[in-house]
Amino acid sequence: MALSEAKVGRQMEIKHVSGPEKIKKFLFSLGCHEGETITLISILAGNYIISVKDSRYAIDSNMAKAIQLIG
């Protein structure tokens, strides 16, 4: 399941990050990589607010679709 399909408030594990190399590198710099825990905090104006490694970030829907989750 992609992050864009996840329920708000649920903590999940990242299975795979797909998409163009530019998106993968950016998400990796935020700490989004295989095996890392991620929480979808909320969805505001089409942006996904996520929590990774005790930090919060806003990503767009294309990036949310690139993050594949386990569970």
Supply 20's token pair: 């163009």
Number of domains in the chain: 1
* 26-67 pLDDT, tens digit each: 999 999 999 999 999 999 999 999 999 999 999 999 999 999
pTM of the shown model: 0.90
How far is it, in rounded angstroms, from Cα 71 to Cα 6? 10
Residue 63: per-residue pLDDT: 95
Give the pLDDT confidence score for residue 34 in this predicted structure.
Answer: 94
> Residue 12 to residues 29, 44, 52, 63: CA-CA distances in angstroms?
19, 20, 10, 16
pLDDT at 20 over 90: yes
**How long, in residues, is the chain?**
71
User: What is the CATH classification number for the domain harbouring 11?
Assistant: 2.30.30.90
What pLDDT sits at residue 47? 96
Say whether 46 sits in a helix, a strand or coil: coil
Determine the structural domain holding residue 11 and report its residue range. 3-70
- Please name which of 39, 56, 59 lies closest in space to residue 47, comparing C-alpha atoms: 59
- For residue 57, the cross-strand partners are 50
